[in-house]
Structure 1
């Protein structure tokens, strides 16, 4: 799994227990999945369709640095299925894992749009082809 993004847990990210608010973490995961999918599918009209059950395994506190990892599980006709792990950057302890996040590529009318992708592409390789 490749860990693309790091977040610093700040006071505004905490719940009343003094740990990272789960809703904030899910917001970060959804944003990371969207950005990853938009880049992979080369379509800014890519949306979250489904997030499987999540498994909170540990918590984070103020000052922790967490990192969000995304991995492609499969390419569908108009979708991209990802899995995600968030871990503490310093201890490598898993905070949360999500088995499936399904992102869908849309056309200008908001309908599923086939993307024609079958494997992970890296931007540096796309740029080299031009």
Structure 2
């Protein structure tokens, strides 16, 4: 799994118990999944269709640096299924896992649109082809 994004846990990210608020973390994950999918599909019109069971394994506290990892599980006709892990950057302790985040590619009409992708593409490789 590749970890692309890091977040610093700040006071405004905490819940009443003084640990990272789960809703904040899920927001970060949803944004990362969208960005990952937009880059893969080369289309900024994508939506989150589904998130499977969310497994909170440990917490993060103020000052921690967390990193968000995404891995492609499969390409559908108009979708991309991702797996996610968030971990503490310094200790590598897993904070949360999500086995299935389904993202859908949309056309200009806002309806699912085939994306034509079958494997992960890296931007650096696209730039070489231009």
Alignment of 1:43-122 (within 5 A): 43-122=43-122
RMSD: 0.3
Residue by residue over 1:34-72, the C-alpha shift from the partner in whole angstroms, topping out at 9 and shown as x without a partner, is 000000011100110000010000000000000000000
Name the structure 1 match of 2:127.
127
User: Any stretches of 5+ residues in structure 2 without a counterpart?
Assistant: none
d(CA) in 2 for partners of 1:37, 1:74: 12
Residue by residue over 1:63-119, the C-alpha shift from the partner in whole angstroms, topping out at 9 and shown as x without a partner, is 000000000000000000000000000000000000000000000111100000000
TM-score (norm 2): 0.99
Q: Secondary structure at the match of 2:25?
A: helix
Stretches of 4+ aligned residues off by more than 3 angstroms = none
Name the count of aligned residue pairs: 130
Name the structure 2 match of 1:24.
24
Q: Secondary structure at the match of 1:84?
A: strand
2:45 equivalent to 1:37: no
d(CA) in 2 for partners of 1:82, 1:3: 13
d(CA) in 1 for partners of 2:43, 2:53: 26
